[in-house]
């Protein structure tokens, strides 16, 4: 199986088409896990790119004409750059020399240290060519931000593991071609209170440079993120922290806001695109894309934020696979599996390879926008492979329902142990399957055949799924396959209905 997994790596990237969608409830501007967003304004509209962590393809890109309505346009990388091993975090847009630059964080394959890489393209949403590592510093260098100060480019970033200051924000001159640092690295702001410091963005207003940064714990149910600001009359500092920090923090609807960048509208207003957790769905929908308007107390004073709320709901997914190419929203855990996907004549065919230690198999996932949903599909073929639906946190944290031979199986993988919770006998394919997630962090699974009624696979059982979320990313529902080559799963439809 390992040799098969390696030989399929080159097949992971493929082109995408847009899905058919319906509307459901949500309050985020970019719903679902979209952490560390960076935004750029172009002649054709706004583009935003976010963290993808361990999901491939890498760094999802969204586009909007008005900052309210967003749709996914593609990804920065269909295939991971050669020097990387994972942890694709904090992408940052910059436009220079008629070229779009994408600075990003990833772990270096040779030593697993987080470094900053750079890729370029003539377009904001496709065609990026990687140029490798641009910043390697201390025990990690992450969260790139580029600033043009009167014609001189600077790269700023967070460094960890320095001698006297465990964390600080650093800067360096950036070459005119944007591909390497020049001169000595200098300190801009030190984490003297040991609160955490990262995700910086810089604006100049009047005589001052304002350095906006995130503080606290970024991720998970115990997060404490917030946005703070410091200022200086010199780009290199020293920077003075605002006495009324933080300037963006939790409210009734959203918690742990942070790591954003600015876009200037035609009316001159600056909007800040950042991430935050929904207070209700929390880690089950991850860090979602939000907007806040930047305002000023008075000329020469300190800034503040006015949070905005989205006026459109998140999109449900409803597709019968009639498009020629798989939809743009699909992602998978590239560390543990390589899916093979083909879509034609109203069916999606899923198979692929997975590592021997992966007890879950291949899961083709979507980003959830709610912690209460129904996930539905129809399996149209019968064989010895397990074929159906999964709710996937990681290879060792997943639940699902699938058809295998003449049975429907409700299964769970937890703590590296696979358990069959219940089974039910079925007749010949096709069979419809449903996984229902409830806001009490439990799920139930159902099946039906020949226009019959939904039947529970495990009557009376509500399976706890609180173990699914990972530290830096939400679990994801999707289509599932677990079997040996050349077996495959055949699906005729897929629905994700937010409730």
Element (H, E) at 5: helix 2-7
CB 25, CB 498: distance < 8 Å:
yes
Average pLDDT across the chain, whole number: 93
* Burial environment of residue 159 by CB neighbours within 10 A (0 to 12, 13 to 18, 19 or more): buried
- H helices then E strands: how many in the chain? 1, 38
Q: Is the pLDDT of residue 24 over 50?
A: no
Return the DSSP state at 242: P
The pLDDT value given to residue 11: 39
Considering the domain 315-498 in this protein, what is its CATH number? 2.60.120.200
- In sign, the C-alpha dihedral spanning 86, 93, 229, 474 is negative
486: which residues sit within 8 A by CB, 6+ positions away? 351
Angle, CA of 94, 97 and 98, to the nearest 5°: 80
Which runs of E-coded beta strand occur in 150-253? 152-160, 167-174, 181-190, 198-205, 208-215, 226-232, 240-241
The pLDDT value given to residue 163: 62
- In sign, the C-alpha dihedral spanning 253, 255, 260, 262 is positive
pTM of the entire predicted model: 0.94
Q: The tokens 């439809």 sit on which residue?
A: 493
Average pLDDT over residues 445-467: 96
Phi, psi of 184 (to 5 degrees): -85, 145
Q: Residues spanned by CATH 2.115.10.20 within the chain?
A: 26-307
Return the DSSP state at 324: S
Average pLDDT over residues 18-31: 59
Distance CA(475)–CA(218), nearest Å, equals 17
Q: Is the pLDDT of residue 8 over 80?
A: no
Q: Is the pLDDT of residue 370 over 60?
A: yes
CB 255, CB 236: distance < 8 Å:
no
Q: Is the pLDDT of residue 5 over 50?
A: no
Q: Residues spanned by CATH 2.60.120.200 within the chain?
A: 315-498
3-state helix, strand, coil in the chain (%, to 5): 0, 55, 40
471 to 78, 220, 394: CA distances (angstroms): 24, 5, 11
pLDDT tens per residue, range 221-248: 999 999 999 999 999 999 999 999 999 9
Average pLDDT over residues 43-53: 98
Return the DSSP state at 430: P
Distance CA(284)–CA(406), nearest Å, equals 33
pLDDT tens per residue, range 418-431: 999 999 999 988 99
Q: How confident is the model at residue 193 (pLDDT cuts 50, 70, 90)?
A: confident
Q: The tokens 């599932």 sit on which residue?
A: 480
For 26-307, CATH number out of 3.90.650.10, 1.10.3720.10, 3.30.70.330, 2.115.10.20 equals: 2.115.10.20
Angle, CA of 179, 180 and 181, to the nearest 5°: 145
278 to 33, 116, 312, 369, 371: CA distances (angstroms): 11, 29, 16, 10, 10
Distance CA(44)–CA(206), nearest Å, equals 30
Element (H, E) at 6: helix 2-7
Closest CA to 283 of 448, 475, 101, 128: 475
pLDDT tens per residue, range 81-121: 999 999 999 999 999 999 999 999 999 999 999 999 999 99
Distance CA(62)–CA(29), nearest Å, equals 11
């Amino acid at each position: 199986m390992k040799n098969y997994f390696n030989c399929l790596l080159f097949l992971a990237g493929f082109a995408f088409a847009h899905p058919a969608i319906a509307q459901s409830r949500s309050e985020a501007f970019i719903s679902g896990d979209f952490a560390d967003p960076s935004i750029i304004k172009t002649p054709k509209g706004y583009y935003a790119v976010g963290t993808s962590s361990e999901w491939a393809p890498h760094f999802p890109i969204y586009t909007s004409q008005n900052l309210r309505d967003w749709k996914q346009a593609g990804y920065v990388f269909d295939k991971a750059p050669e020097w990387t091993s994972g942890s694709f975090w904090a992408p940052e847009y910059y436009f220079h020399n008629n070229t779009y630059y994408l600075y990003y964080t990833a772990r270096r394959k040779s030593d697993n240290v987080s470094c900053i890489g750079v890729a370029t393209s003539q377009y904001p949403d496709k065609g990026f060519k990687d140029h490798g590592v641009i910043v390697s510093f201390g025990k990690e260098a992450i969260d790139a931000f580029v600033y043009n100060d009167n014609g001189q480019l600077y790269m700023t970033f967070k460094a960890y593991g320095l001698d006297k200051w465990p964390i600080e924000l650093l800067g360096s001159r950036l070459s005119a071609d944007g591909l390497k640092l020049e001169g000595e690295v200098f300190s801009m702001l030190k984490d003297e209170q040991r609160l955490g410091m990262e995700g910086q963005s810089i604006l100049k207003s009047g005589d001052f440079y304002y350095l906006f940064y995130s503080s606290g714990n970024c991720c998970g149910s115990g997060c404490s993120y917030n946005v703070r600001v410091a200022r200086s009359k010199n780009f290199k500092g020293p920077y003075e922290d605002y006495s009324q920090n933080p300037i963006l923090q939790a409210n009734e609807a959203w918690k742990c806001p942070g790591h954003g960048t600015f876009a200037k509208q035609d009316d001159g207003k600056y909007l800040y695109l950042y991430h935050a957790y929904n207070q209700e769905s929390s880690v089950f929908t991850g860090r979602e894309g939000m907007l806040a308007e930047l305002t000023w107390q008075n000329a020469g004073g300190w800034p503040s934020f006015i949070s905005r709320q989205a006026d459109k709901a998140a999109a449900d997914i409803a597709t019968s696979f009639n498009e020629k190419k798989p939809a743009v929203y699909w992602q998978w855990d590239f560390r543990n599996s390589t899916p093979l996907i083909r879509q034609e004549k109203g069916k999606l065919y899923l198979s692929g390879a997975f590592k021997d230690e992966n007890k879950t198999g291949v899961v083709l996932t979507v980003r959830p926008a709610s912690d209460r949903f129904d996930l539905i599909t129809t399996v149209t073929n019968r064989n010895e492979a397990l074929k159906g639906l999964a709710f996937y946190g990681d290879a060792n944290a997943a639940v699902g329902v699938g058809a295998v031979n003449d049975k429907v199986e409700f299964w769970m993988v937890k703590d590296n142990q696979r358990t069959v919770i219940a089974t039910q006998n079925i007749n010949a394919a096709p069979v419809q399957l449903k996984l229902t997630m409830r806001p009490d962090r439990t799920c139930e699974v159902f099946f039906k055949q020949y226009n019959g009624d939904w039947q529970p696979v495990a009557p009376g059982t509500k399976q706890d799924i609180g173990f699914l979320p990972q530290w830096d990313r939400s679990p994801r529902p999707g289509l599932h396959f677990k079997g040996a080559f050349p077996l495959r799963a055949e699906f005729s439809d897929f629905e994700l209905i937010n409730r």
